[in-house]
Structure 1
Amino acid sequence: MLRFMPVGDSMTIGSAGEHTWRLRFWQHLRAHAIPHTLVGPRTALHGDSHAYADPDFPQHHLAGWGEGWQHMAPAIAEAVTAARADVLLVSLGLIDLGFYTDAEQTAENMRRFVAGARRANPAVRMVLLPVIPNVRAETDAPFAAEVAHFNTLLAKAVADLDEPRSPLLLASVPDSYDIHHDTYDGTHPNASGEHKLASAFADALHQAWGIGGPYEALDPRTLA
């Protein structure tokens, strides 16, 4: 059984009344009959809520509202050890670049994260999602430039740090992802955004490692 740990910020933890991309991803692997579960030290949504739109799935994760690479780097080793995680699904960086660190510092924290995860499990696999520029990037050119620079550094770090025993994989944000259509506030995913984030991880796993199959939303109406 593969033990997936979603790691992320507010886009991953979600809020009361949401399904989250974590559920969509779990449904995808379940539909493809892949033995798996979701693991991690936390189960709540934002504000310590457990009011999931559909609570019938493994809710475990390592995600936090307002948390980024700098928060997760020192926490990942313990989390991987405790959860016996095999695969990390990571979506981090927007918060770091927006409030805490520049692109270079954020990339260094990403490397610390990878090292910590490997100390806990030398064979851990990681799928990393580039930062999706949010609505702020449309009017804040320096911020947009930092996001673009970090994504370049992230791709380089994935190439540098990839190794056969503990492979790293850079996922691709779906070309159709549109913050004006797939989020409810220019940052956080709505139903269609949840599916597209889940598809980014699912399709990367399928294409690179043969896990599962192409992503298909179980309810196409939520992509409208």
Structure 2
Amino acid sequence: MPRSRTLRRILHPLTGLGTAIALALAVLGAAPAAAAAGQQDATRIMPLGDSITGSPGCWRALLWDALRESGHTGLDFVGTLPPQGCGIDHDGDNEGHGGYLVTNVANQGLLVGWLQATDPDVVLMHFGTNDVWSGIPTATILDAYGTLVAQMRAHNSEMRILVAQIIPMDPARSCAGCGDGVQRLNAAIPDWAAAENTPESPVIVVDQWTGFDTGAHTYDGVHPNAAGDRLIAERWFPALTSVLG
């Protein structure tokens, strides 16, 4: 038999085997590629604030759990800070910086770097507690809010921005003027948000203040306990799902 025909007979099954191996590798390669594409397509949500958001901010875990249970699976909580426990399996990435003032974050341009690192589509902002405690005027806090909104839109012109009327503080366990300061800030937020709102980048006010009892819902007059975390998550949920589509 001619040598070339013999080689063809030998190589024929090997060619089939090579094709099978190539197909198998293609399938195996498609799985991580599909996962990466799914992650890229996920709606990226940044929880932004101070210790009420991040230390440990267990309302985020409860909110994540509620979103998953309601069928919202294409989500990715993002932030440069890692999860901090809470005993619930959740995506714990966040931008809740304990002790931070929103005015300092705005003045120092800190949010710009966080946005570049995490690329959110939606921001949940509960920020200003430390500013009120520091006696910073309401107008100055709102100016800082405006700076952050401008930075968000510079990064993503269609950013969806949820801004909380912040939870109350007990004057007896925080500062003498803290209770009134929170009320003044919260009273001013709706008009501020209306002026900032656009169809392309909505600013939605989420009332975290009404019905929040510092005696029943905090452990120190400022930070939420388990009942407070549940209430905060319940308040975020409808507002967030309304912008998820």
Instruction: Name the TM-score class by shorter chain.
Output: 0.7 to 0.9
Richer in helix (by share): 2
**Structure 1 CA distance for aligned equivalents of residues 209 and 167 of structure 2:** 10
**Structure 2 CA distance for aligned equivalents of residues 71 and 197 of structure 1:** 25
Post-superposition shift, 1:174?
6.5
Of 43, 53, 64, the residue aligned with 1:2 is 43
Question: 1:28-177, aligned counterparts within 5 Å?
Answer: 28-34=66-72, 35-43=74-82, 45=84, 52-54=85-87, 56-73=89-106, 74-99=109-134, 101-136=136-171, 142-173=177-208, 175-177=210-212
- Indicate conservation of the 8 Å contact 2:80/2:114, yes or no: yes
Question: 1:144-223, aligned counterparts within 5 Å?
Answer: 144-173=179-208, 175-206=210-241, 208-209=242-243
Post-superposition shift, 1:117?
1.0
Would the alpha carbon gap of residues 137 and 107 (structure 1) be closer, same or farther in structure 2, given more than 3 Å must change?
farther
Q: Deviations over 1:97-136 (max 9, x none)?
A: 1116221111111111111111111111111111222112
1:14 aligns with 2:72: no
* Higher RCO, Cα 8 Å, sep 6+: 1
Would the alpha carbon gap of residues 210 and 40 (structure 1) be closer, same or farther in structure 2, given more than 3 Å must change?
closer
What letter is aligned with 1:13? G
Determine which structure has more spread, i.e. the larger CA radius of gyration.
Answer: 2
What letter is aligned with 1:58? D
Q: Percent identity?
A: 25
Q: Unaligned regions of 5+ residues in structure 1, if any?
A: 46-51, 212-224
What letter is aligned with 1:87? V
Post-superposition shift, 1:160?
0.2
**Structure 1 CA distance for aligned equivalents of residues 195 and 210 of structure 2:** 25
Q: Flag as ranges the 4+ runs of structure 1 deviating above 6 A.
A: none
- Indicate conservation of the 8 Å contact 2:49/2:127, yes or no: yes
What letter is aligned with 1:182? H
Would the alpha carbon gap of residues 75 and 188 (structure 1) be closer, same or farther in structure 2, given more than 3 Å must change?
same
**Structure 1 CA distance for aligned equivalents of residues 183 and 50 of structure 2:** 19
More displaced 10-residue stretch of structure 1: 113-122 or 171-180: 171-180
What letter is aligned with 1:54? G
**Structure 2 CA distance for aligned equivalents of residues 156 and 185 of structure 1:** 30
What letter is aligned with 2:50? D
Q: Unaligned regions of 5+ residues in structure 2, if any?
A: 1-41
TM-score (norm 2): 0.75
Count of aligned pairs between the two proteins: 201
Post-superposition shift, 1:138?
8.4
**Structure 2 CA distance for aligned equivalents of residues 14 and 138 of structure 1:** 18
Would the alpha carbon gap of residues 4 and 155 (structure 1) be closer, same or farther in structure 2, given more than 3 Å must change?
same
**Structure 1 CA distance for aligned equivalents of residues 233 and 190 of structure 2:** 20
Alpha-carbon RMSD across the aligned residues, in angstroms, is 2.2
- Indicate conservation of the 8 Å contact 1:7/1:91, yes or no: yes
Q: Deviations over 1:46-83 (max 9, x none)?
A: xxxxxx13263221111111112123322222212221
Post-superposition shift, 1:154?
1.7
What letter is aligned with 2:92? Q
